[in-house]
Amino acid sequence: MKKIRVYIIALVVGLLVLPTSCNKDYLETRPTDQLAAGDVFNSLTGAWGAINGVHRSVYIQYNSVQAHGGFPGLYLFIDFLGTDLVFNTTANGWYLNGYKWVDHRNERSNTVLYWNNLYRLISNVNQIINNIDNIAGPEAEKKAIKGQAQTYRAWAHFMLVQLWADRFVPGGQNSHAGVPYMEEITFIGKERNSVADVYLKINADLTAAITNLDGYNRANKSHINKSVAQAVQAQVALVQGNWTLAASAANAARQGYSFMSTAQHQDGYNQQNNPENLWAHYVQEDQTLYFYSYYAQMSHNFNSTLIRQSPKSIPKDLYDKISATDVRKTFWYPNAVADKQPFVQSNGVRFNYMSSKFKSVSTSDSRVSKVMGRISDSNTKILFYNSQGVMATDIRPMFSIVATCIMESEGRVENGSTSRSYRAGYEYLTMEMVREISKDVVSKTSFQFEAIQPKGGEMAVVMGAGSSGILLHEAIGHAFEADFNRQNTSIFADKLGKKICSEDISVVDDGTIPFNRGSLNIDDEGVPSQKTYMVKNGILTSYLHDRISASYYKTEPTGNGRRESFRYMPLPRMRATILLETVFSKTILYNPERSFLGLSLEAALLKALFPTPSLISLSKKSELSYHQPSGRESPLPFTEHSALKVKFVCLLVPSNP
C-alpha cells in the first residue's frame, strides 16, 4: 500500500517565557508548536483547557489562507462543489476554482491544506484521548472530556474519508484505499486504511464517545454532548446505508430539542441557541472570521464586495421542484431584480433566484463601521467590624458588559453605547443578552442620525417611569442624600414631610432588587439594604441615610452607607433610585417647542432641582432625545410619535414654561 505522509502540528497551550537572563536553567528550548503532555495533562483543569482549545480551533483561520476560515471554510468548499448553488459573477475569487471543479483535481491547490487541518485536529484530540485516563480526578469529568475528543476524531476521519477516498458502497467489501486512521501521537506517516476499516474505527470511536458522554451536561453548545455524538453517528450510518441505525441515532439525538417555527427558519440560521441546533459555536466579536466566515460568503447582507457584487442563487429547475407550502420556498427570490428583494447593502446588486437563507448578524446596518465590546467580572469580599461591636460579611460579585457602536453615513459619524451590569458573575451572560445589547447599541446609534439640535434655555423635561438615567439620578437623587441636607446644601433641607411635587409622583431607592448592580446584602456600615420611599404621593418622606446622618435626624439608617475603603468616612449614597410608574390624575398641557422628552439622557448637562424653579441648561445636543419641531400643545402622556415607546409619567416644569 502507498504511504501518505501525515503532517501534524500539535496544540499550543502555553506561553514561552524569556527572563532577562539567558541562563540555560531558565531559557525554554522546547519548540512552541509542540504540546508537552506534562504541561497540560497533570490536572483536569489542564485537560479542560485542552478540549476548550479544540473547540476554539474549529473557527480559527488556518495556514494564513483566506479560504481557510476554520472548518466553516471546509463546508463552503464542499457546498461550492455541489450542483444546487449558482455563482452569479466571478467576484468570488477565493472559491471560484473550487466551484469550477478545478481545485480538487489540482494537488498544488490550497484544497490540500484541508487535509492538514483535519489531521492537525486529530493530533490534538489524540493527545487528550491518550493522556486523560492518567489524570487524577472524578471519572465523570474525565469521561466527558474523552468523549468529546473521541467524537472529534471520528468526525474528522469521516470528513477525510469522504473527501480523499472513493465512497463507501453499502453491501460491498469496501477494501479500496481510504485514509490513514491516526490513533497514536506520532509525526510519522502511516499507510492508508481500507475504507471499510476507516468506517469500522469511526463507529468504534462514536460508540465509545456516546458511552462516555452519557450524563454529561454541557455548559455551552460549542461543547459536544451525547446528542452531538449520536447525530454524527446518524450521519455516518446514512453514508453506509444503515437505515435502521441512522433512524434510531437521529431520533435519540433530537430528544429534548424542539422544532423551529416558520419565523425561525426565516431568521437567517445565525443564532447559536436556535432550538434545532445540536452543536453550534458562538464566535466572539474579537475572534470573528470577518471576510472568510461562512456568512461572508453565503449571506445576502454581509457588507463586502463579494456579497454586494455576487450574491448566490439557486438553479431555477431546483427551485421549481420545491413545494409552494415548503418554508424553504421563501429562502429564494425568483424575481429579485424586479421586486428589489431581498435587502442588499449600499451599491449591492441583485440576481433572480438569489438566496436570503443565511443572514449575517454583524452587519444589520450598512452604516455600522465598528462595534466594540467589553466584559468585566469582579468578586469583592467584605468584612465589616465597628466600635459598636457590629460585625458582618458580604460577597459582592459584579458583572458588566458594555457595547459601543460607530456608524457613518454621508460623511457624518455618530457613536453610541449601551451597557448592562449585574450582581452576578459571567454565568449571567446569555446569548439573549448579547443579542439584546447588539440591537440596542445599533438602535441607539442610528437614532442619532434623526436627532436635531434642541434650542437652549429653560424648558420642561419629561421623564419615563424607571431609572430615567442621569436626569433622575443627578437632578433629584443626590439632593435626597442626607449629608447634603444635614449641611443645608440641598434645596430639600427644609422640606422633609412637605409636599414637593404632584401627588402622582413617587420616588424610591431600592437596594434589594435581585441582581441589580446597586443592590447589596448590607451597606458599607453593616446595615441591611432596604427599599426607601423618598417621595410618596408627592410628599418628601425620607432622606437616604448612613449611621451618622440617621443619628443626627434621630431615625434609622436606610442601608445607604458607602465608603471608598476603610480609610474613608462613610457617606449616604443612592443604590437604585427609581421613579415609580403612575397614571396622571389630570391632563398636563405640554408645549413641544419648549419641552424636552427624556428616555435615558446620558449626554445632557443640566442643573435641575424640582419643584421650583426647575432650570434645564442644555449646553450640547443630548443623546436619545426627541424634540418635536411643531409648536402646538399636546396633552400628556405624549404617545403619538413612533420614536417614543415609553409612557411618560413625570413632568418637571420650569417656573415660567
Is 60 exceeded by the pLDDT of residue 33?
Answer: no
Is 50 exceeded by the pLDDT of residue 34?
Answer: no
Q: Pull the grid cell for residue 510.
A: 431600592
- Chain-wide mean pLDDT for the chain? 78
594: DSSP letter: G
Of 37-51, 113-127, 147-161, the range with the lowest mean pLDDT is 37-51
Answer for the pair 143, 216: CB distance below 8 angstroms, yes or no.
Answer: yes
Q: What is the pTM of this model?
A: 0.55
pLDDT of residue 448: 73
Phi, psi (degrees; rounded to nearest 5) at 557: -65, 150
CA distance 447 to 449: 5
The 3-state DSSP class for residue 149 equals helix
Element (H, E) at 209: helix 195-212
pLDDT of residue 252: 96
Instruction: Please compute the mean of the pLDDT values over residues 145-160 and round it to a whole number.
Output: 97
Answer for the pair 622, 444: CB distance below 8 angstroms, yes or no.
Answer: no
Angle made by CA atoms 150, 191, 147, in degrees to the nearest 5: 5
At residue 123 the predicted structure's pLDDT band, cuts being 50, 70 and 90, is very high
At residue 552 the predicted structure's pLDDT band, cuts being 50, 70 and 90, is very high
Of 286-295, 504-513, 578-587, 636-645, the range with the lowest mean pLDDT is 636-645
pLDDT of residue 20: 31
Share of the chain above pLDDT 90, in %: 40
Q: How far is CA 427 from the centre of its chain?
A: 13
- Per-range mean pLDDT, top range of 7-11, 109-113, 337-341, 538-542: 538-542
Report the amino acid identity of residue 11.
L
Higher local confidence (pLDDT), 634 or 573: 573
Is 70 exceeded by the pLDDT of residue 643?
Answer: no
Cα distances from 323 to residues 239, 328, 334, in angstroms, run: 26, 9, 14
Between strands 190-191 and 539-540, the pairing is unpaired
Of 260-274, 434-448, 625-639, the range with the lowest mean pLDDT is 625-639
Report the amino acid identity of residue 225.
N
State the residue for C-alpha cell 467489501.
173
pLDDT of residue 340: 86
pLDDT of residue 566: 81
pLDDT of residue 375: 92
Higher local confidence (pLDDT), 468 or 315: 315
DSSP helix, strand, coil percent of the chain (3-state; round to 5): 35, 15, 50
Higher local confidence (pLDDT), 509 or 610: 509
At residue 451 the predicted structure's pLDDT band, cuts being 50, 70 and 90, is low
pLDDT of residue 361: 66
Each residue's pLDDT tens digit, 375-429: 999 999 988 888 888 899 999 999 999 999 998 866 778 888 888 899 988 888 8
pLDDT of residue 444: 78
CA distance 135 to 40: 10
The 3-state DSSP class for residue 413 equals strand
pLDDT of residue 593: 45
Of 31-40, 209-218, 373-382, 508-517, the range with the lowest mean pLDDT is 31-40
pLDDT of residue 115: 86
Each residue's pLDDT tens digit, 564-622: 888 888 999 999 888 886 654 444 434 444 444 433 332 222 222 222 222 222 222 22
What is the length of the chain? 657
The 3-state DSSP class for residue 541 equals coil
pLDDT of residue 386: 86
Any idea where the domains of the chain sit in the sequence? Answer: 371-450
pLDDT of residue 288: 62
Answer for the pair 11, 122: CB distance below 8 angstroms, yes or no.
Answer: no
pLDDT of residue 438: 84
- Per-range mean pLDDT, top range of 80-94, 247-261, 363-377: 247-261
At residue 60 the predicted structure's pLDDT band, cuts being 50, 70 and 90, is confident
Answer for the pair 9, 120: CB distance below 8 angstroms, yes or no.
Answer: yes
Each residue's pLDDT tens digit, 304-360: 778 888 899 999 999 999 999 999 999 999 999 998 888 887 778 999 999 988 887
- Per-range mean pLDDT, top range of 99-113, 392-406, 501-515, 629-643: 392-406
Q: Pull the grid cell for residue 501.
A: 411635587
Higher local confidence (pLDDT), 265 or 272: 265
Q: Pull the grid cell for residue 521.
A: 446584602
Instruction: Please compute the mean of the pLDDT values over residues 21-30 and round it to a whole number.
Output: 38
pLDDT of residue 579: 80
Is 60 exceeded by the pLDDT of residue 157?
Answer: yes
Instruction: Please compute the mean of the pLDDT values over residues 83-97 and round it to a whole number.
Output: 83
At residue 561 the predicted structure's pLDDT band, cuts being 50, 70 and 90, is very high
pLDDT of residue 573: 94
Burial of 44 (0-12, 13-18, 19+ CB in 10 A): middle
